[in-house]
Amino acid sequence: MINWPVEITRTKYLTWYENLVAKAKSRPLPNGYIEQHHVIPVCLGGDNTPENIIALTAREHYIAHLLLWKMSMDKKSHNKMTMALHVMVNGSGNKKQNRSYLVPSRIYEANRKEYVKVVSEIMSGPTNVWKGRKHSEETIEKMKAWQNNPVIKQKQSERVTGEKNPMFGKKHSDEIKKQISSSSTSRWTDDLREEQSKRVKEKWQDPEYRTRLEASRKNSEAWLNRDWKASGAKAAATKMANGWKPSEESKKKVSETRKAKIASGEIVPWNKGKKCDHLAGENNSNSNTYRIIDPAGNVFVMNTRQKVLEFCKEQNIGYHSMLDLVRGKQGKNHLHLAGWQATQNKIRNNKS
């Protein structure tokens, strides 16, 4: 007989469980793979003493938890046994476990339904321990420090990299993509958009939040280089390198939208009425000469913007920042601060 710390009604399941425990205690250790089982589960008041631990095969261990779930006991204890069986059926993630038994579909379905019901009751109403509570600032800082730990980041990355990623080598079918799109569209209602907008505006009223966000942005590569066009091109190139391509439908929509805005005057092309000398040759009657001096004092002379662009790519510096330097916009220009100099001379070749 087992001295249970909770009240359990005598049923066939209790008798079968006691017989299983008595058999395990009276026999030698089984050959091959075994698992340890608490006769009285720890969540019901059991301990880790040798008298409360027996060795079972994987199949016997599953049957033991199945019987515990079937026993007649108070609701709180029964809920604990429901969750314990759910872990047993779905696996607890321990790689050493080698459970080769098959779970009958009806038992799985019954346990799964009850598990969902138990979790729903726990997470709703007064039984939810987090209702009306928030993490303290100290706890939040500890969580951030843990998440920003390079070792933790590396481990998290390794868990989903390559073949470990459940979507490795797979693609969503067109039907699944449509379902995801439809589901997302239906959830994103006007009320939700308004609520999201209101929440973001409230966040921006917090000076600490704005300071933190601005500091994060100013530490980015694009902000440091002030090279927005190159940054956008780099992002697009990265997406293209990963296999992304805009669909013909997307291209058509973008083109039609831009044409409509130009026709209405909402957008004025930057080069309207201007002659572009980006690709101008040396014989161009109105060409520019760009004189660039690097921090080491080396002088480079170029007669077209295209050559300036190629030079910036070779030197791995921002093209638009260089143009600002050419126009005399120094100030906080990172190239000027690094010791670069640049000037522009207009050359006009008048034909006699």
pLDDT in tens, 126-178: 777 777 788 888 998 899 888 888 888 888 888 888 888 888 888 888 888 88
pLDDT band at 275 (very low <50, low <70, confident <90, very high): low
Residue 161 backbone dihedrals phi, psi, to 5 degrees: -100, 140
Interval 309-346: pLDDT, tens: 889 888 888 888 888 888 887 776 778 878 888 888 76
pLDDT band at 12 (very low <50, low <70, confident <90, very high): very high
Closest CA to 38 of 2, 6, 72, 7: 2
Residue 298 backbone dihedrals phi, psi, to 5 degrees: -75, 140
Eight-state DSSP code of residue 30: P
Q: Domain locations in the chain?
A: 8-126, 286-348
- State the pTM of this model: 0.42
Task: Please state whether 2 falls in left (phi above 0), alpha (psi between -120 and 50) or beta.
Answer: beta
Beta-carbon contacts of residue 89 (< 8 Å; ≥ 6 apart): 62, 103, 107, 108, 111, 112
Q: Is residue 30 within 8 Å of residue 51, measured between CB atoms?
A: no
Looking only at the bridges linking them, the beta strands covering 72-73 and 35-38 are unpaired
Q: Which of 34-48, 83-97, 208-222, 324-338 has the highest mean pLDDT?
A: 34-48
Write b or e for each residue in 219-254: b if 16 or more Cβ atoms lie within 10 A of its Cβ, otherwise e.
Answer: eeebeebbbeebbeeeeeeeeeeeeeeeeeeeeeee
pLDDT at 282: 44
pLDDT band at 280 (very low <50, low <70, confident <90, very high): very low
Closest CA to 17 of 31, 33, 32, 37: 37
The three-class DSSP label of residue 258 is helix
pLDDT band at 118 (very low <50, low <70, confident <90, very high): confident
Torsion sign, CA atoms 154, 155, 160, 164 = positive
CATH of 286-348, one of 3.30.70.1450, 1.20.1260.10, 1.20.120.330, 1.10.10.10: 1.10.10.10
Q: What is the mean pLDDT of the chain?
A: 81
Tokens of 311: 């030079």
